[in-house]
Amino acid sequence: MAAKVPFVKLNTGYDCPMLGLGTWKSKPGEVERAVRDAIDVGYRHIDCAYLYCNEKEVGNAIKEKIDQGVVKREDLFLTSKLWCTFHDPALVEGAVRKTMSDLGVDYLDLYLIHFPQGYAAGDDLWAKLPNGRTNASVFDYVDTWLSMEALVRKGLVRSIGVSNFNKRQLDRVLGVATIRPAMQQIEVHPYLNNAKLIEYCRSLGIAVTAYSPLGSPDRPWAKPGEPNLMQDPRLRGVAAKYKKTVPQILIRYAIDRGLIVIPKSVTKKRIAENFDVLDFSLQREDMDQIATLECRGRFCDLGDKTLRNHYCDYFYPKIIIMWRRVPESRRVKK
């Protein structure tokens, strides 16, 4: 019998498995097999996104495992994300229905705004203009959020949240929200602990998912000589102490911090190895030692410096944004 994955109870009352399979950078032709293998191993949380361009294959694997009787739909926790070209409130429902169709399901467990910035609608995911700049959307993510709330009311999505939002942006969402975000998904690993943002989310009852917990070593923009988290000798020392691999230590480190964690792999052996972290916990002294590796080392940064004409404050925090107002009686209390 597969080991039992611990859960985090979301502020919506639903349980989210703390260990899931990430599908970012999983290539077509590989991701379907990876999801099948992950479900066989015991994963019940699959993290997806429209941007990853592989949700149909993920859906094929899910259907196969349901048809085989390995799992039921209700056994799975499926997350997806609204991409930046769908920030127009009129496009939000169509976007989630496309994801649901590709995944072959009639509801999502969790749907996130992928980034706090919008691009012009169209088939180009990056909405590039002829001059190379991004064609920015005119829509504010707080308006997008209100359309996300409508998905919950229609029963299409059980919980909603955000991804890659900073404190200021989260506050802006809370300023208009009638449904509090259930989740914040951000890059977290020992080089980027994000402790202050995580603590702030927890103070609001918002759970946190750590993406790139292994430092995203296969990121296509990595440059020679850049730090490699999994080669860090200090982490190797901790791994040797527990007779585990460095990836296993990194995944356990996130779980022991109370985070949901979504390591990505398409290799059956590594998928199983990443799941084999449920039989131990890190001692406090080792947690403290790993925490000292913090160096604000961000591996994943959308960082589009061409997005000068967008009034979100993700990369330009000095831009002043007018708060949208809703009646006090409808506003979420912090």
pLDDT digits (tens, 9 = 90+) for 218-276: 776 777 878 889 899 999 999 999 999 999 999 999 999 999 999 999 999 999 999 99
Do residues 110 and 16 touch, judged by C-beta distance below 8 A?
A: yes
Domain assignment of residue 330, yes or no: no
Q: Which pLDDT belongs to residue 315? A: 39
pLDDT class of 312 with cuts at 50, 70, 90: very low
Q: Is position 52 annotated as part of the catalytic site?
A: yes
Task: Report in angstroms the alpha-carbon separations of 165 from 169, 185, 317.
Answer: 6, 8, 12
- Alpha-carbon distance of 171 to 39, in angstroms, equals 36
Residue 249 main-chain phi, psi, to 5 deg: -65, -45
- Alpha-carbon distance of 38 to 15, in angstroms, equals 19
Do residues 157 and 95 touch, judged by C-beta distance below 8 A?
A: no
Domain assignment of residue 332, yes or no: no
Cα 16–186–160 angle (5° rounding)? 45
Span 33-64, pLDDT tens digits: 999 999 999 999 999 999 999 999 999 999 99
Report the CATH number that the domain containing residue 75 is assigned in CATH: 3.20.20.100
* CB-neighbour burial class of residue 256 (10 A; exposed 0-12, middle 13-18, buried 19+): middle
Q: Which of 215, 216, 185, 209 has the alpha carbon at shortest distance from 257?
A: 209
pLDDT class of 324 with cuts at 50, 70, 90: very low
The mean of the pLDDT values for the chain is 90
Could you tell me which residues come within 8 angstroms of residue 69 by beta carbon, excluding any fewer than 6 positions away? none
Domain assignment of residue 281, yes or no: yes
Domain assignment of residue 182, yes or no: yes
Q: Which pLDDT belongs to residue 29? A: 82
Question: Residue 3: is its pLDDT beyond 50?
Answer: yes
Which of residues 299 and 324 earns the better pLDDT score? 299
**Structural domains of the chain, count:** 1
Do residues 39 and 71 touch, judged by C-beta distance below 8 A?
A: yes
Domain assignment of residue 155, yes or no: yes
- What sign does the CA torsion over 318, 293, 206, 14 have? positive
Domain assignment of residue 156, yes or no: yes
HSE at residue 124, side-chain half, CA atoms within 13 A, is: 13
Domain assignment of residue 300, yes or no: yes
Range with lowest mean pLDDT among 10-24, 75-89, 108-122, 215-229: 215-229
Residue from 43, 52, 111, 141 carrying the catalytic annotation: 52
Mean pLDDT along residues 199-226: 88
Question: Residue 179: is its pLDDT beyond 80?
Answer: yes
Structure tokens at 82: 């609204």
Do residues 295 and 191 touch, judged by C-beta distance below 8 A?
A: yes
255: containing domain: 7-325
Domain assignment of residue 331, yes or no: no
Mean pLDDT along residues 98-116: 98
